[in-house]
Amino acid sequence: MPAAPSAAAPDSNPDVVLVVDFGAQYAQLIARRVREARVYSEIVPSSMPVAEMLAKNPKAIILSGGPSSVYAEGAPRLDRAIFEAGVPVFGMCYGFQLMATTLGGTVDDNGAREYGRTPLTVSKLGSTLFEGTPAEQSVWMSHGDACSAAPEGFTVTASTDVVPVAAFENDEKKLYGVQYHPEVLHSTHGQQILEHFLYRGAGIEPTWTTHNVVEEQVALIREQVGTKRAICGLSGGVDSAVAAALVQKAIGSQLTCVYVDHGLMRKGETEQVEKDFVAATGVQLKVVDAQERFLTALAGVSDPETKRKIIGREFIRVFEQAQLEILQEEGPEVAFLVQGTLYPDVVESGGGTGTANIKSHHNVGGLPDDIEFELVEPLRKLFKDEVRMVGQELGLPEEIVQRQPFPGPGLGIRIVGEVTKERLDLLREADAIAREELTAAGLDREIWQCPVVLLADVRSVGVQGDGRTYGHPIVLRPVSSEDAMTADWTRMPYDVLAKISTRITNEVADVNRVVLDVTSKPPGTIEWE
């Protein structure tokens, strides 16, 4: 699975499957499922000209679902040339209907609405897509329009009680489509259907592995950096640790890791970075004490976007100062900044798919315009679980690779309100208690992430020691997820929740209430800010 380079790295021209996003809620999931089949995939917006898509030399193209009706005014379209270029194409839901109408089939609103689990009848069991699957299978539908006639040259391979054309295939032109969503787990044979398209329809070999990622990125990094030096902002999290280990493998002593002690870390994590990561990798580490600088910059600021941008700006300013010091101490020029940017960071910041900006990430939308470094982002096209696999391939210890995600802006975005030293100290203690109890209960792997949030600008009345209190609420936000693009709240045992709540309210001054966030993503993001 050769990974794609960062925006700043040379183009490696990997064997790529393009997922064309028509506004689907499942576009990210399609890309993940393709990668799970050990084939590299990238998402591109449907607004991208077909000529640009084809210029990427894709091995195959998948057309996602979407909320539009194919015959509605303003609905997304695709140039017919995409179906005539000789590149295998697989349409799903809206993509299926778009393929049908573009090539002369019929899609209309005949009242054949299907949502959720739907029985599918396969009429061509030996077809390219359905070989080896049962004649009756459950699939996940989500459509109001239906295809009543396939384009000329296509064979209808499946139907439902209300939709006569629920799947079709044209082996000669390597064009395939299904009305349903094979990428979701509710489609019982969905992954098998997708792999049949990739392996049988498109003739792609499943060769995308973490070993390939490491080999290719090492080559790309060496080509990009050359003989110059790079610095990496080490936060102690999985992403920056894996990025640093990968770059160190590529350029060795040309890399210096800079750990900025900005005062926004959780309890004990600064010591863990200084000790555990250096011991595991042997990397050169420069620690910069910038706590006062960050607190001064954040004073009086409550807006979350402003906080993120301030933290991103101050990181870069500290790195620039570190660059000068490294140059004076060691030379030659430090020209590159290594970041652990991931694909979800890019997507949520409005990059990659033409989507809206949900929130700026400290290393995507939060960087200042006058940055003097060229970025090295070897993880930019990877999901979190893929990053963990790369870390394992590089030999990083489990304590680092399996660590729960922690945002680069740290506790600064887990305080709803102004960031002060007193509030940071309070949140650090509450967070430490929650982590201790989750570990003691053996829930570290079950829970993807558990942000502990301080509602600093909110106070509520309580009673402690027979007296009235007016303290802050603490929010527990345990979530389960595969890649942070979607998430659901984790159903933790009540006794664990009770123990966390009791300890926090007993041991942390000025906290008299602990609440549980039971919101999924969407509609809520994992972090509160």
Closest C-alpha among 62, 4, 67 to residue 34 = 62
Distance set, CA 142 to CA 25, 184, 454, 473 (Å): 11, 12, 39, 40
Neighbour count for residue 346 (Cβ, 10 Å): 23
Active-site entry in 143, 181, 262, 361 = 181
Determine whether 232 is an active site residue.
Answer: no
Structure tokens at 305: 């976007």
C-alpha span between 411 and 270 (Å, rounded): 13
Structure tokens at 207: 């060769």
HEC profile for 310-362? HHHHHHHHHHHHHHHHHHHHCCCCEEEEECCCCHHHHHHCCCCCCCCCCCCCC
Say whether 388 sits in a helix, a strand or coil. helix
Report yes or no: 197 and 185 within 8 Å, Cβ to Cβ. Answer: no
Active-site entry in 42, 114, 169, 183 = 183
Q: Which residues pair with 462 in a beta bridge?
A: 469
Active-site entry in 93, 232, 257, 450 = 93
Determine whether 183 is an active site residue.
Answer: yes
What residues contact 451, with CB distance under 8 A and at least 6 apart?
A: 414, 475, 477, 526, 527, 528
**Pairing state of beta strands 479-480 and 488-489?**
antiparallel
Position of tokens 């140039």? 79
Say whether 482 sits in a helix, a strand or coil. coil
C-alpha span between 512 and 471 (Å, rounded): 5
Determine whether 143 is an active site residue.
Answer: no
* Crossing angle of the two packed helices 421-440 and 494-507, in degrees rounded to 10: 150
Structure tokens at 366: 């939060």
Report yes or no: 489 and 479 within 8 Å, Cβ to Cβ. Answer: yes
Closest C-alpha among 92, 128, 79, 98 to residue 19 = 92
Neighbour count for residue 201 (Cβ, 10 Å): 22
What residues contact 341, with CB distance under 8 A and at least 6 apart?
A: 6, 239, 361, 363, 364, 375, 377, 379, 380
Annotated active-site positions, please?
Answer: 93, 181, 183
